[in-house]
């Protein structure tokens, strides 16, 4: 019996999303900036040059903009990704060798829905399908590093060129790092039980047998659940951003992380690793720091470090990877991010 046979869906939800939510989304997005200018300056006659007024205007405008973008991006990404799963990626990568396998694994890492808490079973599942450890590492690096929310937000805030550069940069790190790790005979640094684990039962592929209605429903559920988790971080991020935006101590940021500080990217990465947040929480801060004059590469490096390297995931991976491989994993990803930060700054020109 397929899952869809016995799951009655709330009737009309698909129709409501398509018929109402989408037009409302576009309308709100279109009028968001002007309505606040009209309300604050034309109606309340507030002084646009006052930093407090400007901070408030920025806060309401930016909150609505970021939440609209987040909702739209999460919904679209979830529906698109519902066609993929770890199980399916595993089948696609089965029998792939190093080289092409690393490229495929990194690319699949972007589109496969993956939570860091599944890192261990996914790793074992891949290895048991005969996928080399280096190829598996390409997947494990690409998956958190190239975040679909980050792609969407970068695209809408900074343009498609920056979003494309971000994807290309993340893919490069994942492919090269996985390939290099593969050359080091990494199997000796993987706990032996990983190779002994046999996958039993019938493998359940969550991406199969879903109707379009169910995929839309998943998109709605996922959007609600992520927004419920991150809204407070996003608001705090925007609030910090609004204060910086209103007062803009540009000299301070220029001195600490501006184009003239050669260590800016390294500082950004070192600061970003212990911080762990969703891409959604970092983005508002990134947006404001960019307008405050911090170069894009430095900000991307910070964001990638926050999103890609997290302590909870490392603790989980410790169960299957011995310290040398875990160390190499962190070192390779961190240095990859640093290199990308500097290259970005050199290309985009700050």
Partner 1 sequence: MDIKILGPGCTNCVTLERITHEALAQLGIDATVGKVTDIQDIMAYGVMSTPGLVIDDVVVFSGRVPTPTRVRELITAAANPSA
Closest CA to 190 of 180, 200, 182: 182
248: left (phi over 0), alpha (psi -120 to 50) or beta: left
End-to-end CA distance of the chain: 57
Tell which one of 113, 134, 144, 341 touches partner 1 (CB under 8 A).
Answer: 113
Q: Residue 321 in 3-state DSSP?
A: strand
Residue 47 has phi, psi (to 5 degrees) of -85, 115
CA of 66: how far to CAs of 73, 186, 315, in Å? 10, 42, 32
Residue 262, both tokens: 């050669």
Tell which one of 87, 108, 190, 317 touches partner 1 (CB under 8 A).
Answer: 87
For residues 282 and 307, the answer to whether their CB atoms sit within 8 Å is: yes
Instruction: Decide if residue 246 touches partner 1 (CB under 8 A).
Output: no
In angstroms, what is the minimal distance from the CB of 212 to partner 1?
17
Residues in the interface with partner 1 (CB under 8 A) total: 38
Instruction: Decide if residue 221 touches partner 1 (CB under 8 A).
Output: yes
DSSP one-letter code for 258:
S
Instruction: Decide if residue 206 touches partner 1 (CB under 8 A).
Output: yes
Tell which one of 17, 149, 316, 321 touches partner 1 (CB under 8 A).
Answer: 316
**Which CB, 30 or 315, lies closer to partner 1?**
315
Q: How far apart are CA 9 and CA 26, in angstroms?
A: 26
The residues in 131-160 that bind partner 1, with binding defined as CB under 8 A, are: none
In angstroms, what is the minimal distance from the CB of 199 to partner 1?
5
Tell which one of 99, 121, 293, 350 touches partner 1 (CB under 8 A).
Answer: 121
**Which CB, 8 or 262, lies closer to partner 1?**
8
Instruction: Decide if residue 27 touches partner 1 (CB under 8 A).
Output: no
Instruction: Decide if residue 86 touches partner 1 (CB under 8 A).
Output: yes
Q: Which stretch binds partner 1 (CB under 8 A): 5-13, 98-106, 251-259, 284-292?
A: 5-13
Tell which one of 43, 45, 202, 260 touches partner 1 (CB under 8 A).
Answer: 202
Residue 321 has phi, psi (to 5 degrees) of -110, 135
Instruction: Decide if residue 225 touches partner 1 (CB under 8 A).
Output: yes
**Which CB, 168 or 203, lies closer to partner 1?**
203
Closest CA to 103 of 91, 93, 113: 93
Q: Residue 99 in 3-state DSSP?
A: coil
CA of 222: how far to CAs of 82, 108, 245, in Å? 11, 20, 31
Q: Is 33 exposed, middle or buried (0-12, 13-18, 19+ CB in 10 A)?
A: middle
Partners of residue 321 on adjacent β-strands:
190
Instruction: Decide if residue 259 touches partner 1 (CB under 8 A).
Output: no
Instruction: Decide if residue 7 touches partner 1 (CB under 8 A).
Output: yes
In angstroms, what is the minimal distance from the CB of 127 to partner 1?
11
CA of 343: how far to CAs of 10, 279, 309, in Å? 49, 21, 20
Q: Which stretch binds partner 1 (CB under 8 A): 22-30, 109-117, 138-146, 270-278?
A: 109-117
For residues 69 and 156, the answer to whether their CB atoms sit within 8 Å is: yes
**Which CB, 118 or 172, lies closer to partner 1?**
118
Q: Which stretch binds partner 1 (CB under 8 A): 17-25, 43-51, 113-121, 282-290?
A: 113-121
Q: Which stretch binds partner 1 (CB under 8 A): 67-75, 136-144, 161-169, 196-204?
A: 196-204
CA of 110: how far to CAs of 114, 144, 227, in Å? 9, 8, 21
In angstroms, what is the minimal distance from the CB of 115 to partner 1?
7
Q: Tell me the Cα Rg of the chain.
A: 22
Instruction: Decide if residue 12 touches partner 1 (CB under 8 A).
Output: no
Interacting residue ranges for partner 1, rule: CB under 8 A: 3, 6-8, 10, 85-87, 90, 113-115, 117-118, 120-122, 124-125, 128, 193, 197-204, 206, 218, 221-222, 225, 312, 316, 319-320
């Amino acid at each position: 019996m397929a899952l869809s046979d016995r799951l009655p869906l709330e009737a009309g939800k698909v129709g409501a999303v398509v018929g109402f939510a989408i037009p409302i989304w576009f309308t709100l997005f279109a009028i968001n900036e002007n309505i606040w200018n009209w309300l604050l300056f034309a109606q309340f006659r507030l002084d646009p040059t006052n930093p407090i007024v400007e901070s408030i205007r920025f806060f309401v405008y930016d909150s609505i903009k970021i939440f609209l973008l987040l909702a739209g991006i999460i919904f679209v990404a979830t529906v698109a990704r519902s066609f993929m799963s770890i199980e399916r990626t595993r089948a696609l990568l089965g029998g792939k060798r190093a080289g092409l396998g690393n490229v495929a694994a990194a690319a699949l890492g972007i589109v496969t829905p993956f939570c860091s808490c599944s890192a261990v079973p996914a790793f074992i599942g891949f290895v048991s399908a005969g996928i080399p450890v280096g190829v598996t590492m390409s997947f494990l690096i690409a998956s958190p590093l190239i975040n679909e929310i980050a792609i969407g937000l970068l695209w809408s805030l900074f343009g498609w060129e920056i979003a494309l550069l971000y994807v290309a940069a993340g893919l490069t790190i994942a492919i090269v790092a996985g390939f290099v790790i593969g050359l080091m005979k990494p199997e000796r640094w993987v706990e032996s039980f990983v190779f002994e684990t046999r996958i039993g039962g019938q493998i359940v592929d969550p991406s199969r047998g879903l109707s379009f209605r169910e995929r839309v429903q998943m998109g709605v559920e996922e959007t609600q659940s992520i927004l419920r988790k991150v809204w407070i971080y996003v608001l705090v991020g925007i609030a910090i951003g609004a204060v910086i935006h209103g007062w803009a101590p540009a000299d301070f940021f220029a001195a600490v992380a501006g184009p003239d500080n050669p260590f800016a990217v390294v500082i950004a990465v070192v600061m970003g690793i212990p911080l762990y947040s969703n891409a959604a929480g970092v983005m508002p801060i990134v947006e404001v720091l960019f307008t405050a004059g911090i170069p894009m590469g430095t900000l991307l490096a910070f964001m990638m470090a926050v999103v890609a390297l997290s302590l909870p995931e490392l603790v989980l991976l410790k169960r299957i990877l011995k310290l040398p491989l875990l160390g190499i994993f962190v070192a390779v990803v961190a240095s990859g991010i640093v290199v990308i930060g500097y290259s970005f700054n050199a290309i985009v020109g700050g």
